[in-house]
Amino acid sequence: METFRRSARFSFALIATLAFATGATAQTYPDRTITLVNPFPAGASTDQISRLIQTKLQTALGQTVVIENKAGAGGNIGTSFVARAAPDGYTLLTAPNANFTITPHFQPPPYDPLKDFTPITTVAGAPLALVVHKSLGVNTVAELIEYAKKHPGQLSFGSSGVGSPHHVAGELINAKAGIAMTHVPYKGGSAAQADLTGGHIKVAVLTFSTVAALDDNAPIKILAVTGKDRLKRKPDIPSMAETIPGFDVFGWIAILAPAGTPKPIVDRINAEVKKILSDAEIAKRLDDLTFQVIADSPDGLAERIRSEYAMWGDVVKASGKTD
């Protein structure tokens, strides 16, 4: 009995010590430089968004915030680096949804997308664009679907690569519309757009910002944006959901920390980032990049990851396409 009492007293003391240490860490956070890891090259959307909030975040936190680009392996190098970092709030990740909800279904990454991170907030999101070559002779999503059904096996769609949001958006169109366009993966969206412009492929799913400025003289045209709603900046372009009910492919970029990061630190970063995103100037600059502010809670981001991971897993499994 005495041994049990000593063991219980030790356990309670240990818990109290850990709780005190966590509280003290959260109260003094931050007291040194914070690293915001971007798992893609300089100039990528994740990099642009990191730099957009960097200055204001370090002002709000009173410490230097540095951006470290750890690109490679489709974002896996930088993402896995953060997964292995100390959960103390000094190493954070800015990454797109694909690294957590899509690509793991094609090639298991060196991290667990559901367990190895503490969500902080979704910064912003943007839809993709369904684009066709004008020589195809279709002007609406409904006409494209009709063409595909009348010409089975003759249509291909290009994307920025296997496992990209662009790829799975095309597969989702196939599944929901009952058609079978063949996927043609490219090494990046610019290569897909170049082949579409040249007429080598007739359909592509592209990043909206790269085709937003198309004029009537361009050989390609946007049929729809892939979100559920039309964009405020381009209200004349239909949404996919207007033809395929429930269709909603919306790419997003989020900030996360290693699993086990104390809640007070997570809440502090979340609150400061949300204040930054409420700034009209920041919102305008994001809009210029065709992104819309989201700024959700840690729980909101966690649910977003869980639900989309399950959804895209079902789409990939149903398509039978892992390459």
Reported as a single tens digit per residue, the pLDDT across 46-81 is 898 999 999 999 999 999 999 999 998 888 999 999
Of residues 14 and 137, more confidence is placed in 137
CB burial of 237-262 (b: ≥16 within 10 Å; e: otherwise) equals: bbbbbebbeebebbbbbbbbbbeebb
pTM for the full predicted model: 0.81
In the predicted model, what is the mean pLDDT of the chain?
90
What tokens appear for 255 in the block? 């900030």
Superfamily the domain 33-125+251-319 falls into:
Bordetella uptake gene, domain 1 (3.40.190.150)
**Bridge partners, 250 (sequence order):** 127
Q: Which of 97, 108, 125 is nearest to 256 (CA)?
A: 97
Q: Look at residue 117 and tell me whether its pLDDT is greater than 80.
A: yes
Question: Averaged over 279-295, what is the pLDDT?
Answer: 92
**Residue 188 has what pLDDT?**
81
Which residue type is seen at 212?
Answer: A
Contact 253, 160 (CB under 8 A): no
Written out in words, the top-level CATH class of the domain with range 127-242 is: alpha beta
Distances (CA, A) of 229 to 4, 71, 253, 301, 307: 62, 32, 19, 20, 20
Domain ranges for the chain, please list them: 33-125+251-319, 127-242
Of residues 317 and 144, more confidence is placed in 144
Q: What share of the chain is helix, strand, coil (3-state, %, to 5)?
A: 45, 20, 35
